[in-house]
Amino acid sequence: MIITRFAPSPTGHLHPGHAYSALFAYRAAKEVGGKFLLRIEDIDPVRCKPEFIADLMEDLRWLGIEWEEPARLQSEHLADYQAALAQLREMGLLYPCFCTRAQVAAEAAAAGHAPHATDGPLYPGTCRDLSPVEREKRMAEGPAVWRLDMKSACARVGALTWHDRGKGEVEAHPEIFGDVVLARKDVPTSYHLSVTVDDALQGVSLVTRGEDLFRVTDIHRLLQALLGYETPAYHHHKLLMNANGQRYAKRDKAVTLRALREAGRTPEEVRGIAGF
């Protein structure tokens, strides 16, 4: 059975781009008698707001989208991510990092690394080779993020591939992202870890999401191999653009689904705007 999911972050109201992504996943499941899940990616304690959760659920139902209950809130399942971290730690693949964002950028520039099309400069591995004594000392001084030792992780699993419904078999090259962060200082997980764990625990068999996330799937494929998870199929769809050829964004409050509703637009009209 095909199981898909829509996984928004409650940091603002949904816009037509979200509607496109939700309807894409919903149709992919329902046209073959599958299941559609809703997951709320609310691990950011600063930007995520409870009121947006209720609003986005209301907007989705207004569009005619129903999901298998209950929706999964990541903030209620931190123990699942901690368990995955513990597994990776036991494998000797995690290390604490005490560098600030500014330090990472400065050290990467000094090492001659150009910025990558990821989350910023490639981390130069400053904290990877700290002695156990130095690590303990710094851990006592304050919190750290936890990074994946990418070289060791890749060596452990060897060559990997994953399948995209639009582009076929894809060779994974997670090493281009360097030692990615898997747990933050303020919450025991990161996007890469939580999305991989959630898809596995929820039995998601087809991950549909925007093409802007195509390349980071390499990281998720690596984590699946390390943690012993099944690998779902993927379909990275186009990004919906506005009349000016720009991606829809939450900061543009004039075109949120809520604003369109208040302006008198019908669900059918909004589905049309989203290409459905």
Q: Which residues are the active-site residues?
A: 250
Strand 206-210, strand 3-6: pairing: unpaired
Instruction: Determine the Cα–Cα distance for residues 103 and 108; give it in Å rounded to an integer.
Output: 8
Alpha helices in 130-262 (DSSP H): 132-141, 150-157, 191-201, 217-227, 257-262
How many other β-carbons are positioned within 10 Å of the β-carbon of residue 147? Answer: 23
> What single DSSP character describes residue 76?
G
From residue 195, give the alpha-carbon distance in Å to each of 40, 75, 213, 238. Answer: 11, 12, 12, 20
Do residues 30 and 65 touch, judged by C-beta distance below 8 A? Answer: no
